[in-house]
Structure 1
Amino acid sequence: MNGQAAPRYTRIVDELRRRIETGELTPGDRVPSTREITRQWGVAMATATKVLTELRRQGLVRAVPGVGTVVEPGVRPGRAKRPERPERAAHPERPAPAHRPPAAARRGSTADQTLTLERIVEVATAVADVEGLAASSMRRVAAELEVATMSLYRHVADKDALLLEMMDSVFRRWSFPEEPPEGWRERLELVARMLWEMCRRHPWLAPTLSVTRPQMVAGALPFSEWTLMALDGLGLDPSTAFTAHLTLFNYVRGTAVNVEMETEAEALSGLDAEEWMAGQEPALHAILATDRFPRLRHLATTGYDFDLDGLFEFGLQRLLDGLAVLFEEVARTAAPGYPYG
């Protein structure tokens, strides 16, 4: 490993740590959010998440509900805590405890009395967006809200019920224009891109959505209604129209599943997709050194710029091309005198 550059996330951690140690960021100041980190340093969301997780582990920052991630009140310029205390290094499997008030203080706080379902869903969604759905446990959400875990159960039955509320809240944040585009294709493009952007912002969403056992999420119904409306007047029977709707939905969902997979892989490895691919190049070139795969070897030589958004858009257009053929066939078979013309 000697001579290799440090993972990108550690360089960002060092930079933010420097700002804290020099007083450029003072106690209580907000540090860049995950989205700001992705914009400033050009890294993926998982890398930005790993940055803030490491800063929290080092005791430099804390998450404040409704505010964001801020510099810890106890951190002073030039006196920031050093990472990896000897006693913790001896137990690498034991995670650093989350910074929070004592349990008794949390239970006795007025936060329990002002807790709402909307606030619970907001915090649970924020945690899942950054750290994945598994991190958004009832205990973790309660800790972020600084309330007793049992306080949450007065508003939501369990984690499954909370997930449904999260899904519903995410869908309800989006709305369709009052004046829809003219053509069926433009209308389907609009709904598909809205779903894609939604899954991009909430990587946990696509894997939780089910086609075979659809959840009763009222906020998602306008998306189905919009799609079926776009297919009105094209000669499809209701069953075929709904199948077309499911096909479009499942295409978006199936492609978006890769967002969460990449987020998790990057968080575990500390490498974004580009860095990971760079590490695979020697093995790939060794496999392609023979004449068995000349086309793949040519592609590896010339390079391929993988872009998930581009992949989504390419597939969307081809799917819509296929639907156009279907609609033309339906119109042709419905013409007077068919098949004799």
Structure 2
Amino acid sequence: MTTPSERIADEIRGRIRSGELAPGAPVPSTRRIVAEHGVAMATASRVLDALRRDGLVEVRRGVGTVVAQGAAGAGAARPGTAASAASAPTVDDVVRLAMATADAEGLGGLSMRRIATDLGIPTMSLYRYVRGREELLARMLDTVYATSPLPDPLPDGWRARAEVCARTMWAAFQRHPWAAHVMSMTRPQVLPHGIAHTEALLSAFGELPGRLLDLDARMHLTVSVFQLVRGLGVGIEPAAQARKDDGLSDEEWMDRTLPDLQAAVDPRRHPHLVAATSADVDLTLDTLFEFGLARLLDGYAVFLGEER
């Protein structure tokens, strides 16, 4: 009896072999498969795993899962398999592949089995490189910090330094939308390359002219900056996935949705929302980041006793 994953995989194979999906064309994401076929996320992941094992699809960073070049000759060995690899993978290979997969498909498309399959090694062999998923995610996040260094030298002044730290992290989350979901504020991972970011802010708040803050205050000021960026950063990945799934920009989606929203708003009970939905308001994750950071640091200035 054919399983749902086999049936869906066969359907996509047919589209590839018929030329409907040409080399380089995106194939349905796991979320789209879930939505279109009414299956579980695990089933959708098995569909893409099967197509990768066949050599029909590949993960392309910044794009997602696409039809592999030469997919019609599916018998050819895939890069990274035992037949084509010149040597065994390294820890860096594992981390880079995991990051590329997460960049393209989100954390939902990332699993130990998936990474092992793409590397052409048994799943249990992957545990020779990392102890498990949590260590893999921590190494991925540390690599994000490593590839997003702070400027050297750092700017003088607590506010300028807080801004550069926040903007460096925001840019990193935009390049790697999954990273905000991995970062923990209550149980922080040990990230050698992330230490510099924390030190930068702690030192800035420890060098205030004429005032010495205790460590408790400096830690709260520092972590609150990171929390603001992380809190907004977790919205990047679902927004990008939604755009990929329905093919609409955020502006196009709002144009379609706005009439229903305006119809649902009662002018007598929600006059301010009526005004807001009738105006051209530029409200995006980027504007929320800039506005939120500025207002947070304005509050810091008051707390620190500085004149505005």
TM-score category (smaller protein): 0.7 to 0.9
The range that moved more, 249-258 or 297-306, is: 297-306
2:58 corresponds in structure 1 to: 63
CA distance in 1, matches of 2:81, 2:150: 42
2:69 corresponds in structure 1 to: 72
CA distance in 2, matches of 1:277, 1:194: 29
Kept after mapping to 1: 8 A contact 2:181/2:234: yes
Report 1:19-98 matches (<5 A). 62-63=57-58, 72-74=69-71
CA distance in 2, matches of 1:258, 1:190: 21
Listed one character per residue, the Cα deviations across residues 117-156 of structure 1 (whole Å, up to 9, x for unaligned) are 0001000001001101121111221232233323322211
Deviation of 1:260 after TM superposition, in Å, equals 2.1
Tell me which of the two structures has the higher relative contact order, counting C-alpha pairs closer than 8 angstroms and 6 or more residues apart.
Answer: 1
CA distance in 2, matches of 1:64, 1:271: 22
1:119 corresponds in structure 2 to: 93
1:297 corresponds in structure 2 to: 274
Report 1:323-334 matches (<5 A). 323-328=300-305
Deviation of 1:261 after TM superposition, in Å, equals 2.8
Which residue of the other structure, out of 196, 206, 225, is the alignment partner of 2:180?
206
Kept after mapping to 1: 8 A contact 2:77/2:84: no
1:233 corresponds in structure 2 to: 207
Is 1:129–2:103 an aligned residue pair?
A: yes
CA distance in 2, matches of 1:252, 1:241: 17
Report 1:254-265 matches (<5 A). 254-265=231-242
TM-score normalised per structure 1: 0.66
Q: CA distance change for structure 1 residues 31 and 229 in 2, over 3 Å: closer, same or farther? A: farther
Kept after mapping to 1: 8 A contact 2:57/2:71: no
Q: 3-state SS of the aligned residue for 1:304?
A: coil
Deviation of 1:70 after TM superposition, in Å, equals 7.1
Deviation of 1:61 after TM superposition, in Å, equals 6.8
Q: 3-state SS of the aligned residue for 2:128?
A: coil
2:296 corresponds in structure 1 to: 319
Q: CA distance change for structure 1 residues 328 and 106 in 2, over 3 Å: closer, same or farther? A: closer
Listed one character per residue, the Cα deviations across residues 237-263 of structure 1 (whole Å, up to 9, x for unaligned) are 111011100111111111111112323
Deviation of 1:227 after TM superposition, in Å, equals 0.7
Which residue of the other structure, out of 202, 226, 231, is the alignment partner of 1:249?
226
Structure 1 unmatched runs, 5+: 1-16, 33-52, 77-98, 332-341
Runs of 4 or more consecutive aligned structure 1 residues displaced over 4 Å after TM superposition? 68-71, 99-103, 105-108, 267-270
Report 1:264-303 matches (<5 A). 264-288=241-265, 290-303=267-280
Which residue of the other structure, out of 213, 222, 237, is the alignment partner of 2:196?
222
The residue type paired with residue 63 of structure 1 is: E
CA distance in 1, matches of 2:103, 2:80: 25
Q: CA distance change for structure 1 residues 102 and 158 in 2, over 3 Å: closer, same or farther? A: farther
Deviation of 1:270 after TM superposition, in Å, equals 4.6
1:191 corresponds in structure 2 to: 165
Deviation of 1:189 after TM superposition, in Å, equals 0.5
Q: 3-state SS of the aligned residue for 1:63?
A: strand
CA distance in 2, matches of 1:178, 1:298: 46
The residue type paired with residue 293 of structure 2 is: L
Q: 3-state SS of the aligned residue for 1:111?
A: coil
Q: CA distance change for structure 1 residues 275 and 115 in 2, over 3 Å: closer, same or farther? A: same
2:152 corresponds in structure 1 to: 178
TM-score normalised per structure 2: 0.72
Q: CA distance change for structure 1 residues 60 and 169 in 2, over 3 Å: closer, same or farther? A: closer
Q: CA distance change for structure 1 residues 131 and 205 in 2, over 3 Å: closer, same or farther? A: same
CA distance in 1, matches of 2:25, 2:134: 32
Equivalences, count: 259
2:11 corresponds in structure 1 to: none
Listed one character per residue, the Cα deviations across residues 306-339 of structure 1 (whole Å, up to 9, x for unaligned) are 221111011101111111111127x9xxxxxxxx
Q: 3-state SS of the aligned residue for 1:206?
A: helix
CA distance in 2, matches of 1:123, 1:148: 16
1:38 corresponds in structure 2 to: none
Q: CA distance change for structure 1 residues 317 and 189 in 2, over 3 Å: closer, same or farther? A: same
Deviation of 1:110 after TM superposition, in Å, equals 6.2
